Chain A
Amino acid sequence: MISADSVLSGSFDYGEVARSVLIAIVASYAALDFLGRLTSARGRTRLAWLSGGAIAMGLGIWAMHFKGMLARRLPIPVEYHWPTVLASLLVAILASGVALYIASRQKMAPVEVLTGSVILGGGLLGMHYIGMAAMRLPAITHFSPVLVTCSILLAILFSAITLRLAFRLREETRWSGPRRLASATVIGVAVSAIHYTGLTAASFTPAPPPNLFHAVSISTLGNNGIVIATLTVLAAAIATSSVDRIQSEERLLLVIDTLPALVWSKSPDGSADFLNQRFLEYTGLSVEEGLGWGWMKEFHPEERAEEEWRAAFAAGKPFEREAQLRRADGAYRRFLLRAVPLRDKQGNISKWYGTSTDIEDLKRAEDELRQAQEDLARVTRVVAMGELASAIAHEVNQPLTAIVTNGNFCLRRLDSATWKPDELRAAIEEIVNDGTRASAVISRIRGLLMKASPNRTELDINRIIQDVNILLRNEFTRNRVSLRIELESDLPHVPGDPVQLQQVLINLVMNAIEAASSTTNGRPEILIRSARNRDGVLVQVQDSGPGVEPALVDRIFEPFFTTKPKGIGMGLSISYSIIESHGGQLSLESASHGALFQFTLPANGAVLS
C-alpha cells in the first residue's frame, strides 16, 4: 500500500503541451475571425455566427484543456467520467458565446469589460475544474490554494485582455490578418497559461480505486482523434468565415459601384483614397489619376478652389455643396456633393465619406420653371403697364381733344373774315382750362401710384439691395453683366416701404443692366454702393453704359419721357416720386462715363419733408 500522504509524482509530456497550446491559438484565431463576421452581420445571420463562433471557440478551448490533462502523465491508470467531460465542454461553449456577444457589441465600457471577463474567466475555470472532476483514478486530488487563486486571477486578467484585443480587432482592415494572428497567439498562450496553472494546482495522493461507472479510458487513438476532430472543425469554421467575408465584400462593392452616385472616401486632409466604379466611368479617369488630389481636376475651372476645399475638410463638419463636374466627354454637369467625417474614439477624423449626385436635370427643370415664372411676371407687368397706359391715355386724351378742337376752331375762325373776339376768347379760355386739367390728371395718376401701399417700416437698406440682387440674378446672367456691390456695414435703419424701395432699386438696376449691356467697349459692369450720409443713407447705382446725353439730363425724371422704343416713360418718374415721398432725393449724379443714379433716404429722427 502506498502511504496516504506520499504525493504521486507526475510528469508533463511536452509534445502534448505544445499541441494543446497550438489548438488554443487556432481556436482563438477562429473566434476572432468569427467576431469580425458577427459584428458586421445583422438579425438571424448574427445569431448563426454567434452560435457557430461559440461552438468553435468552446470546442477549441475545451480540446486544449483536455489535451493538457492528458499531457500530464501519472503513474496510475486514469479514466474519465464522460458525462462530466461533456458538461465541461458545454461550459466552455457557453462562456465563449458570452465573450463573443460582449465583444461584438457597439460599445464596450469598463463595466462590460469587467462583467465579461468575470464570466469568461469563470467559464474557463469552471470548464477546467469540472474537467478535472471527471478524472477517475485511484488517488485523492489535493488543490494548492495559492495556485488555485493564482489561476482564478489569471483567468479574469487574461479574459479582460482577450476581450479588449478582440474588440479592437473586429474592424476588418488591411492588416487585420497578421494582427489577428498575433492576438490569437497571445490569447491562446494566455488560455493555456490559466489552464496549466490550474493543472499544477492539483496534486494526487494514492487512494482506493474509484467508482468507474460511466468512466472511459482515453487511448492514444482517442487522444489524437480529439486533436484531429477539433482542428477539422476549426479549419472548416475559418474557411466558412473567410468565404463569407469575400462574398460579403463583393456584395458590398457591388452595392457601392451600382449606387446612382459617385461614391468616394478621403483621408482626413481631403485626398481621395477610394473612388467607386461610377466615379471612374463618369470622369473617365483611371484610379491612379483620381486618387490623392486628382479629383480636383474634375471640377469646373471656375470652381476649382482647392483652398476652400481644404478648409472645408479641415473644419471637420459634414458639408454639402453644389459643383460642376466634367464628364468623360468634356461636358459639365451639376452635382450635389455631400461629405460626412468618420471620427475615432478620440474625436479625430479618421476618414471622410461622401457622394456626388447628378442634379443637372433637376437643376435644369428648376431653371426652366424659374424662367417661366419670370416670363409670366414680366408679361403681367407689361399687361398691367398696358392697362395703366390705356387709363392714362383716356384721362389725358379727353382734355387734349378739347384743346385741339378748340384750337382748330380758333384757326378756322381767324381764317374767315367774320370772326368775333368774344367767341375766340371763350374757346381760348377753355383751352387754358383743359391744359391745366391735363396736368392735374398726370399728378393724380402719380399720386395714385404712390398711395398704392403706404406701408412704412424700419428697414435695412442693405437687405433691400441684396433682395433685389437675388431677384435680378438671372437678368445679370442673361445680359452678361457683372455686378459689384460695396455695402457699408452698420448703416442706420431708415423708415420706408420695402416694396416701393425695391421697386425703385429694380428700376434703377434694370435701367443700368440695359445701359451696360448696350455698349460694346469694355466689360459690362454695374456697381451698387450703399453708404452713410449726413442725415441717413445713400445708395448709388452706376453702370458702364454710354451715359445720358446732356440734352436729355434735365428731362429724364419727367413723366412720359423715355429713350426706350417700348418704354412708357414712367419708371424714373415714379421712382422719383417714391423717393420724394420717403423724404429723400433721387438724382442723376453723373451722366458721362456711364450713368450714376443716387438716392438718399433720411434715417429715423431726421425730419421728413
Chain B
Amino acid sequence: MSEPESIVFVVDDDPSVRSAIKRLIGSMGLQVELFGAAQEFLASKLPNVPSCLVLDIRLPGISGLSLQRQLAKANIHIPIIFITAHGDIPMTVRAMKAGAVEFLTKPFRDQDLLDAIQMALERDRTRRRQDAELAVLHERFKSLSPRESEVIGMVVSGMLNKQIAAQTGTAENTVKVHRSRAMEKMQANSLAELVKMIQRLQGSSRNEPP
C-alpha cells in the first residue's frame, strides 16, 4: 500500500487533544497526521489524496483563521473543520464565510467531529474529481488550432455555419471541417456536449482566484 485512500490532518497546540483526536479518528480506519502549529503544517508536503484539516483556532504563531486565509491564497482547497475551546459568533461567521465545513466547540461530540470529517472528505473527493476532469478538458482545448478554437467559440455562442463563414471570410465547407475536427479533438459526441464542455472551461477560468 503506497498511497492511502484518504488522510485527515490535525493542527492543535495541545498534545492531549491531538492524541485523543488521532485515537478517535484512527479507530474509524482513517489515516491521521498531527501538527502542533500552523507553520509545521505549511512546511509539510501534502499528498495528492482526498484529505481534510481539523484546525484549532487559538494557536501559537499563526492562528487557525489566518492559516485558512493563507491556504486560500496559495490555492490549496483543503476543506477545514474548526475546533475551538472558546468561540464567539463573529469568529464562527468569519470562518464559515471563508468556506469552513464545520465549526465545533470543545469539548465536542465525537459523532459531530466524525460526521464533519466524512462530509469534508466527500467534498474534497468531489472537488478532486472535478478538477481532474477539468484538467483533461483543458488539455483537449489546448490541442485545438487557433482557427478551430475561434470557430468553436462562435458555434457555442449560437452562430450558424453560414454566419461564421461570412465573419471569418472563408467558405462554409471550410467551417464545417474546422468544426468537426474540433469536436473530434474535444471528444464531444454532440453539439450540446461541446457547449457544456466550453461552459465548464469558461466557468473554471472565471472562478479561478486572481
Chain A: residues with CB nearer than 8 A to chain B? Answer: 390, 393-395, 397-406, 408-409, 412-413, 423, 426-427, 430, 433-434, 437
B20 in contact with A409 (CB, 8 Å): yes
CB neighbours of B17 from chain A (8 A)? 398, 401-402, 405
Question: Can you spell out 10 A-B residue pairs with CB atoms less than 8 angstroms apart?
Answer: A393-B85, A394-B58, A397-B107, A398-B14, A401-B107, A404-B108, A405-B113, A406-B20, A433-B16, A434-B16
- Minimum C-beta distance from B98 to chain A (A): 22
Given contacts A408-B110, A409-B110, A430-B19, contact A401 B85 (CB under 8 A): yes
Q: A404 with B107: in contact, given A394-B85, A437-B16 (CB under 8 Å)?
A: yes
Whether the Cβ atoms of B110 and A412 lie closer than 8 Å is yes
Q: Which residue of B lies closest to A406 (CB)?
A: B20
The yes or no answer to B134 lying at the interface (CB within 8 A) is: no
Question: Which of B23, B27, B83, B109 is packed against the most chain A CB atoms within 10 Å?
Answer: B23
Give complex CA distance A437, B17 in Å.
12
Tell me which residues across on chain A come within 8 A of B23, comparing CB atoms. Answer: 405-406, 409, 423, 426-427
Q: Residue-by-residue, is B12-30 near A (CB-CB < 8 Å gives 1, otherwise 0)? A: 0010110111011001000
Total CB contacts across the A-B interface at under 8 A: 71
Say whether B106 faces chain A, with CB atoms less than 8 Å apart. Answer: yes
Is the Cβ of B110 less than 8 Å from the Cβ of A393? no
Let me know if B140 is at the binding interface, CB within 8 A: no
A403-B86 contact given A398-B16, A412-B24, A412-B27, CB 8 Å threshold: no
- Please judge, given known A-B contacts A393-B86, A412-B27, whether A401 and B20 are in contact too, CB under 8 Å: yes
Does the CB pair B85–A405 fall under 8 Å? Answer: no
| Chain A residues within an 8 Å CB radius of B86 | 390, 393-394, 397
Chain B interface residues toward A at CB < 8 A: 14, 16-17, 19-21, 23-24, 27, 58, 83, 85-86, 106-110, 113
Contacts of A434 in B (CB 8 A): 16
Cα(A433)–Cα(B14), bound, Å: 13
Tell me, in angstroms, the Cα distance from A342 to B24 when the chains sit together. Answer: 93
Given A412-B27, A413-B27, A430-B20, A405–B14 Cβ distance below 8 Å? no
Q: Which residue of A lies closest to B88 (CB)?
A: A390
Specify the chain A residue showing the minimal Cβ separation from B104.
A401
How near does chain B come to A184, taking the closest CB pair, in angstroms? 95
Complex contacts, B58 vs chain A, CB 8 Å: 394
Inter-subunit contact B110/A405 (CB<8 Å): yes
B14 neighbours in A (Cβ, 8 Å): 398, 401-402
Contacts of A413 in B (CB 8 A): 27
Quick one: closest B residue to A402, CB to CB? B16
Nearest-CB residue, chain B, relative to A433: B16
Q: What's the minimum C-beta distance from A436 to chain B, rounded to whole angstroms?
A: 11
Chain A contacts for B113, CB-based, 8 A: 405
- Distance in angstroms between the alpha carbons of A405 and B23 in the assembled complex: 9
The interface centre, meaning the residue of A397, A405, A409 with most chain B CB atoms within 10 A of its CB, is: A405
Question: With A and B bound together, what is the CA distance between A72 and B86 in angstroms?
Answer: 122
Taking A394-B58, A426-B23, A437-B16 as given, write out 16 further A-B residue pairs in contact, using a Cβ cutoff of 8 Å, ordered by the A residue number.
A398-B17, A398-B106, A399-B16, A401-B14, A401-B108, A405-B20, A405-B23, A405-B24, A405-B107, A405-B108, A406-B24, A408-B109, A409-B110, A412-B110, A430-B16, A430-B19
Choose among B21, B27, B107, B110 the residue that contacts A400 (Cβ–Cβ < 8 A): B107
A489: min CB distance to chain B, Å: 50
Residues of B within 8 A of A409 (CB): 20, 23-24, 27, 110
Residues of chain B with a CB closer than 8 A to A398's CB: 14, 16-17, 85, 106
CA distance A128 to B182 in the complex (A): 152
Contacts of A433 in B (CB 8 A): 16
Measured between beta carbons, the chain A residues less than 8 angstroms from B20 are: 401-403, 405-406, 409, 427, 430
Chain B residues in 8 Å Cβ range of A395: 85
Contacts of B108 in A (CB 8 A): 401, 404-405
**B20: nearest chain-A partner, CB-CB:** A405
Give bound CA distance, A433 to B15, whole Å: 12
Which of chain A's residues have a CB closer than 8 A to the CB of B110?
A: 404-405, 408-409, 412
- How many Å lie between the Cα of A365 and that of B16 in the bound state? 57
Question: Which residue in chain B gives the minimum CB-CB distance to A423?
Answer: B23
In the A-B complex, the 9 residue pairs with the smallest Cβ-Cβ separation, listed nearest first, are: A397-B85, A408-B110, A402-B16, A405-B20, A401-B106, A404-B107, A401-B107, A394-B85, A402-B20
Residue on B nearest A410 in the bound complex, by CB? B23
Assembled-state Cα–Cα distance A399/B110 (Å): 15
> A403 to B27, alpha carbons, bound, how many Å?
16
Is the Cβ of B85 less than 8 Å from the Cβ of A408? no
Least CB distance from A357 to B in Å reads 52
A398, A404, A406: which has the most chain B beta carbons within 10 Å?
Answer: A398
- Min CB–CB distance A560 → chain B (angstroms): 15
Complex CA gap A393/B20 in Å reads 19
Among residues of B, the one whose C-beta sits closest to the C-beta of A390 is B86
With a cutoff of 8 Å between Cβ atoms, the chain A residues found around residue B106 in the complex are 397-398, 400-401
Chain B residues whose CB sits within 8 angstroms of the CB of A412 once the complex forms = 24, 27, 110
Nearest A residue to B85 via CB reads A397
Chain A residues with CB below 8 A from B107, complex form = 397, 400-401, 403-405
In the assembled complex, how far is the CB of residue A392 from the closest CB belonging to chain B, in whole angstroms?
9
Q: Which residues of B sit under 8 angstroms from A408, Cβ to Cβ?
A: 24, 109-110
When C-beta atoms are compared, the residue in chain B nearest to A413 turns out to be B27
A405 and B27 contacting across the interface, CB-CB below 8 Å: no
A395 to B58, CA, bound (A): 11
Q: A397 vs B58: C-alpha distance in the bound complex, in angstroms?
A: 12
CB distance from B105 to the nearest CB of A (A): 8
Cα separation A394 to B106 with both chains bound (whole Å): 9
CB distance from A396 to the nearest CB of B (A): 8
In the complex, what's the smallest C-beta–C-beta distance from A602 to chain B, in angstroms?
Answer: 40
**CA A412 to CA B17, docked complex, whole Å:** 17
Give the docked Cα–Cα distance between A310 and B135 (Å).
104
A404–B167 Cα distance when bound, in Å, is 71
**For the complex, what is the distance from the CA of A433 to the CA of B23, rounded to whole Å?**
16
- Residues of A near B109 (CB, < 8 A) are 408
Please measure, in the bound complex, the distance between the C-alpha atom of A408 and the C-alpha atom of B85, giving whole angstroms. Answer: 18
Whole-angstrom distance between the Cβ of B171 and the nearest chain A Cβ: 72
Q: Give the Cβ gap from B59 to chain A, nearest Cβ, in Å.
A: 12
Residues in B with CB closer than 8 Å to A403 are: 20, 107
Name the residue among B20, B85, B108 with the largest chain A CB count within 10 angstroms: B20
- Docked CA distance A405–B86 (Å): 17
What's the Cα separation between A412 and B19 when bound, in Å?
A: 16
